[in-house]
Each structure stands twice: as structure tokens, then as C-alpha cells.
Structure 1
Amino acid sequence: MPFLTTPQPRILIAGAGIGGLTTALALHAAGFTDIHIFEAAARLTTLGVGINVQPSAVLILRNLGLLPGLRDIGVETAELNFYSRHGHPILSEPRGSCAGYDVPQFSVHRGEFQMMLLDAVKTRIGRDRVHLDHAFAGYSQTTTEGGSITAKFIRRSNPSEEATIPEMSGAALVCADGINSAARRLLYPNEGLPRFSGRMLWRGCVEQPPYLTGASMVWAGHANQKFIAYPISGRADRRGRALVNWIAELRVRGEGDPDLTPPPTDWTKNVPKERFEGPFEGWMCGGLKMKELILSTESVFEFPMCDRDPVDRWSFGRLTLLGDAAHAMYPIGSNGATQAIIDAETLAEKLAGVIDSWQMAGVIEKALTEYQEARLPPTAAIVMANRGNGPDQVLQLAHERAPDGFANIYDVIPKDELESIGANYKAIAGFEREAVNKKAKETEHLAGRFESSKIKAAILVKTV
């Protein structure tokens, strides 16, 4: 049936995080107009801490016309520096544009990034297409010609009260509802809670004078005690300051402990610094004094470091998983948000290929299976690589071979071995420079799709 006389397929998205919002924008760019996003939270705010977005994902965002927004809110990462717990340098490598990529790497506040994506969704797709306080609760589907999938929702803020939209039907349902995904729980009812690593993360942000290049990431310590810091605010940078996102990591459960149940925590509540700051006494790396960063931070939040075992299937008929719902991984290698963004682009490409024939039996299901086949194997490999410390393995090797420190890292880890760790991880994670730059040149025209709509979008935002 010709496209112009075929009703638009309605795409339902559960979850308005980075994965869900980017999926909506990628689908819109691919020609879809009937898109609805359902979010469990009753209100979306700039809550959160820092994340990194690798060039492979920044390229996708550039092609969606979002690079100017990223430059406004984020910091273009210049370098990544690894140190021992004694402050001895292990490895320094340029990142993003400084490493010869045609697009930058960004360090950014997760909440601000989410709000930027949300604003773009409201402008391009419609404010009325984002439904808050709608937690995904179940689904039913038919797979015959002209079939559909119906998603059911509840009001999390008041479960006894019916959601404004208790259910909606569409051609496909994308579940991007996080590591504790309700959809995944329905598909894998015996899986249980996320898998706890035995390590806890404490996170905070504090403004201070810039350090090193002003756009430097610092990684220090070893697998069971680590400190990470990097600036995340473009606005602070333009004022000559640095909003430093920091992460303190400690093992709180013994290695080999068979109990993988995560401890109960509430990542929205401030926790006392006395819980973790003692072991970082005297740490100083890259000009940063770790304990001073901790003590000068007003609010600190606690996160158990968890992931999930890879599964062999994401797509079930007209339903598929995306982002953390599909492949929750340890926050090692700066890959969580990046992989969700790549998911979004891949899914949009597969569905765009059937936009003219979507009403035929099996067409939507086939597209979702092709998305799964393209993305499940590489993300499963990253999950497992991160369990082996990913690029952070350089820290562990230095600690194991020279626990009391060293004068020259090459006396501890040969140069070739050291550099191969990062190169191997880039290949696994899909952000090798040559591949990213080749794609950047081939797709450089795509961001221009949104240039002509900027004035119209600005008017729309002011009048809605």
C-alpha cells in the first residue's frame, strides 16, 4: 500500500530516560509522527549526576541536530588520565576531538541532558505526546495482519487511582524502562533483582577552580577502591569554573560472596560522608585532593554498582527492550548512555525500513528482531568486558604489580600491553576512531534536516 495513503504506525515508548527520548527523536527523524512516550515518574527534573557520551553516540546526536545543545550544557572532554592510589601517573590519552575524532566526547550532567532531549521531543513531536505518571504494567498483542500491541499503565504516585490513559494500542512497543524494567520482569519472571558487584558508589558534584586542562577526566585507584572525577558543565566552564562530578567507589561485600542481592538504597536521598570518606584520606591525583572534594560537596548520593546477565532475546512479537532494560552494565568505560543512544538509532533504522509495509503480518516483528540481532551481541560483550574492569584494567594491573607505587609505569606494564587494553575496549564498545570518522563523513548532511525548523521551533516553544 502506498505510503501516502497508509496511516502512520503508532509507536509506544515506555520510559522517558535518555534511551526512550533519543528513540523518539530518532523515529521522528526517520519519518514517524505518531509517537507516544509514557514515563513512570510524575515529574521530570534535573536530578542526577554526571555521565559521559562517547563520540559514536555524539555523532548520532549531531545527526539529530542536537550538537549545539550539547555544547551549551556539557564539556568537550579533552583527556583521560589514569593514576595509582599513590597519585603516580599510569596512562594519559586524548579523548574526542583531541584524539582526532570528527565529533567530540562530552561529559554532561545527566539531568540537564535528559531535559535537553525532552525539550526537543516536545518541540518536534508534541508536548501532548509525553505522558508522565504512567508506569508500564502489562501488555497484550496480536500478530496477524493489521494486528497491534496494547500497553497498560498505572499511576505510580497513587496506584489506587486509574492512570489518565490506562491503556493505548500501537504497532510496536519499545520498553526503555531502566535496570528495574517492568517489561523485562514480565518477560523474564524468574530473573530477580539486578546483580550486585559487591561495590558501592557514592556520587556528588561541586564547583571549584578548573584543574589540568579544564576538560580532563581523572581515574585513580584499583578495582576495589577507586575515585573518578571530571567537569560536566559548559555553563560553569564559560564562567571560568568547573562543576566537578566525582565518584568514590569501595568494595563493601567480599569478593566471591555468593549473595548478589543489591543492598537497599534510595539514590534520591543525601547520605553521610562518614560512610565512605575515610579510605580516601591523603589521595591526590591530577591536582585534585579527593577528600577535599568529598567534604566540600553539599549533597552525596549512594548507588550500588549493579548489572544484569545478558539474555538471548529482547524482542517478543511487537515488543522490544532498549537501553538498561535490555543490557544494564557496570558504569565502566563510560558506555551506558552511549549504548542506549546507539540502540535508538539502530531501532529507528530497522523500523524505517518497513514504514510503507508495516500493516502486513510479521513485518514489525521482523524489524524488531533485526534490531535485536544487530545490538544484542555487541552489548552483551560490553557487559562482560565491564565485569573484567574494561579499560580500568590498567588501574588493577598497576596495583597488583606495584602495590607500593612506581617511578615509571613502563617498568610495571610494558607500553604495548598498556595501550592495547584501551584499544581492545574501543573495538568492543564500537567507538574506534576510524569507524566513527568514516560514518561522520558519510552522514554529515543529516543534521541540516533540522536547520530550517529552528525558528519555527523557537516560536512553538514560546507559544505552547
Structure 2
Amino acid sequence: MEAIVIGAGIGGLAAALSLRRAGCDVTLVEQSPRFTEIGAGIQLAPNATRVLRRLGLLDAVAAHATRPSHAEFRTWSDGAEICRYALGRAVEEEFGAPYLQVHRADLHRALTAGVPSGSVRLDTVAVGIDQDDASARVTTASGERLRADLVVAADGIRSAARQWLFGADEAVFTGLAAYRALLPAGEVADLDLPDFGVWLGPGRHFVHYWVRRRELLNVVAVFEAAAGRESWTARAEPGEQLGEFAGWDTRVRSVLERAGRMFRYGLHTRTPLTRWHTGRVTLLGDSAHAMVPFQAQGAAQAILDAAVLGEVVAAATPAAVPDALGRYVRRRLTAATSMQAASARAGDDFHLPDGPEARARDARMTAHAAEHRFLPQSTAWAADVLDERAPS
């Protein structure tokens, strides 16, 4: 079986590894001329780390990660604790895999190390896909036509392949933007910060946690905005974040001030699809189901897509690829689409104005933490998509 994966982000690399594990000869096509350290923190819940263990990469990722003991939710103005949810050892015992917080570059590096360099085509831009009953072909900007039994489009939230397959469909701006930064531990050592904090306020929320074994504090500050560019590298105006978070707890403002000029990006999603594949070509990850990050499941859902894809392809012949992709979509579409919706609802809940609705939310969260111990999205962590009968 020959496969082409378009896009060497988290989802594309995980797909390449899962397909190689399934016995495929994989070509990974990436438009960037080189891999660079980009992005910031990613949270990996047990549904994702379980897949990394299956791929033989969990130890490599965990070596550079942080394992928070719990998550604290706090009020915006004075930092009063609303509730806390168990993570750490409790999560590992309950769900059979750890909850990790990791720098995106460290996760990307671990995934990249598992893909033979000869399988990766950097500086290669895909400009079209076509197919017939026997094969699928990717056309590159240089005019080359690459043939395979299967094509996986993991080309991100701005997926060109999605438009080639299903027509014009742009990413949707959510009305929210975020500042982000990484601060060395020494720059915030004097602040009384929880190890993993989520601060909730009217129209805004603020998240921080440690990555790189507590060497760096990852900071994300989400706010309502009239417009926002989807970019890893766009910079906010100097001090802009302090105006957006005026009146917030002094610890939050101290972190934002010490962060200096922060990166700023608009939060976008994609409209849910009723199918992800056509014949021998399928979408995966953000190209299929880009979501806001308020359940910390974007990367995890792409990794789960890759795991299921590998399983269905392992059981298929080249002639049966279209049927296998149909099984992949049936196993993943509902769950991923549900997580998209849950993430959007969480953002609405986080941003309630002070008053009765916010107090009712806080009471619900406190009751849930007391009864269930774990974050509400932990129901998704327990839904194991892996076929444990499949060989490791």
C-alpha cells in the first residue's frame, strides 16, 4: 500500500507514523523548506498519550513535558479559587495514560524522529489532487505528479485540499483572539501562580501552565475582538494586552506585563462537514474539524484521527481503500464534531459576565469537581478509539 500525506504538522506526522505502522510506504509532502521551532504549549490528555504509547513515542514526549497535579479555575478580579480538577497520578490511574503539557516543538520533534527522512518531501507545494478507481495523484507546484493508493490531506485549518474535495469553504473567525507567550521560569518565580491556572472573566479568560519540565511558563490570554488574523507569528502592539485585561488580578497583569510584546492570533474554526473523504482521498485533523482550544483537544483529536486511519488501512487491500476510508470517517466524525461543539460551548461559559449566570456556572463547576474529580471533557479521554486487538 502506498500513501501520500499532505502536511507535516502534528496530524500529518501522526498519520504518517500510523500508516507506516500499518505497513504502508508513506511519502510526506510539506510546503515549508525546513522544520522550525514554532508555536507554544499543547496539552495532551490520555486519549492522545495512549496513541503516542502505541506509536512508541510516549517516553520521548514525556521526557520534555510537564505532568500537572491538578487544574485550578479562578475568578478574574481577585483570583479566588472556583474549583480544582485532579490530573497527575489520579488521571493516569483512572485512564491508563498520563496528562502531559508540552511545547509544540518538542512534540513535533518526537514525531518527526519516527519518520525516515527519505520519506519526507520538504519545500513541496501540493496544488491539486485527482483520482480514478485505481489510484490517487497529487500534483506539485513543480509539475510533478505523485501517485498513491491513498492520499491524506492534513494541511491544516487553511486546507486547500478541503476546497478541492468539497468546494469553497473558508475558515470562520470566531470573534475571539488570543495573546500568547512563553516566559522563563525565573521571570515569574516571585508570583503566587498555580501550576496550571484558568482564570475566568467577562468576555475573556487567561490560561497558564508549565512546559519543558517547568523551564517555561506557557501563557494564553483570550479576549473578544472585531477581527483577528490566523497566524503563528503576528505580534501585538506593545502593551496592548494590558489594556485588554485592565482590572484583572495583579498576578495576571504581572505575567502579561513581563511577557513584553506578545504574539497575537485570531481564533478560527471550520464548519462541520457531513463527510471527510471522497474515494481514495480523506481529510484529517484541522482540515476536517478545526476547533477552538477551550477543551485542549485540537491536537489530541488529530492524533486520534491518525490512529483510527492506521487501523482501518491495516485491514484493507489497495482496492478496498475507499471502503476503509468510509470506516475511518464513521468512527471519527461524530466524536470530533461533538468536541468542536463542546469547545465552543466552553468558551461561552468561560466568558460569562459577572452576575447570576457566572455564579451559577461556578456552582456547577464546583459540584462537578466534587463529584467527578476530573475535567468535564474527561468523558472523551475514556472513549478509547484504539482497537486493542490490533498488534502493537
- For normalisation by structure 1, the TM-score amounts to 0.76
Structure 1 pair 89–350 and aligned structure 2 pair: CA distance change class (3 A) = same
Deviation at 1:45, TM superposition (A): 0.6
Tell me if the contact between 1:78 and 1:215 (Cα under 8 Å) persists in the aligned partners.
no
d(CA) in 1 for partners of 2:291, 2:114:
27
1:131-146 matches, cutoff 5 A:
131-143=121-133
**Unpaired segments of 5 or more residues in structure 2?**
none
2:109 equivalent to 1:115: yes
2:206 equivalent to 1:227: yes
Structure 1 pair 27–97 and aligned structure 2 pair: CA distance change class (3 A) = farther
Q: Which has the larger radius of gyration?
A: 1
Partner of 1:280: 245
2:214 equivalent to 1:245: no
> Which residue type is aligned with residue 349 of structure 1?
E
- Equivalent pairs counted in the alignment come to 387
Partner of 2:183: 206
Partner of 1:65: 56
> Identity of counterpart residues, as a percentage?
28
Partner of 2:100: 106
| Cα deviation 1:214-254 (Å, max 9, x = unaligned) | 983211123621111000112xx3xxxx410001111123x
- Name the stretch that deviates more: 381-390 or 336-345: 381-390
Partner of 2:234: 269
Partner of 1:189: 167
Deviation at 1:439, TM superposition (A): 7.1
2:350 equivalent to 1:377: no
Deviation at 1:112, TM superposition (A): 2.1
| Cα deviation 1:89-138 (Å, max 9, x = unaligned) | 111011243333322111111122112211221xxxx2111111112211
Q: Secondary structure at the match of 2:105?
A: helix
d(CA) in 1 for partners of 2:110, 2:243:
37
Deviation at 1:167, TM superposition (A): 2.0
> Which residue type is aligned with residue 206 of structure 2?
F
1:144-163 matches, cutoff 5 A:
147-154=134-141, 162=142
- Name the stretch that deviates more: 275-284 or 41-50: 275-284
Q: Secondary structure at the match of 1:76?
A: coil
d(CA) in 2 for partners of 1:300, 1:266:
13
Partner of 1:318: 280
**Unpaired segments of 5 or more residues in structure 1?**
1-8, 155-161, 254-261, 447-464
d(CA) in 2 for partners of 1:175, 1:226:
33
Partner of 1:256: none
Structure 1 pair 109–214 and aligned structure 2 pair: CA distance change class (3 A) = farther
1:15-26 matches, cutoff 5 A:
15-26=7-18
d(CA) in 2 for partners of 1:281, 1:213:
19
Partner of 2:378: 426
2:147 equivalent to 1:169: yes
Q: Secondary structure at the match of 1:244?
A: strand
Q: Secondary structure at the match of 2:60?
A: helix
Tell me if the contact between 1:216 and 1:231 (Cα under 8 Å) persists in the aligned partners.
yes
d(CA) in 2 for partners of 1:413, 1:298:
33
C-alpha RMSD over aligned residues: 3.0
Structure 1 pair 119–214 and aligned structure 2 pair: CA distance change class (3 A) = farther
- For normalisation by structure 2, the TM-score amounts to 0.89
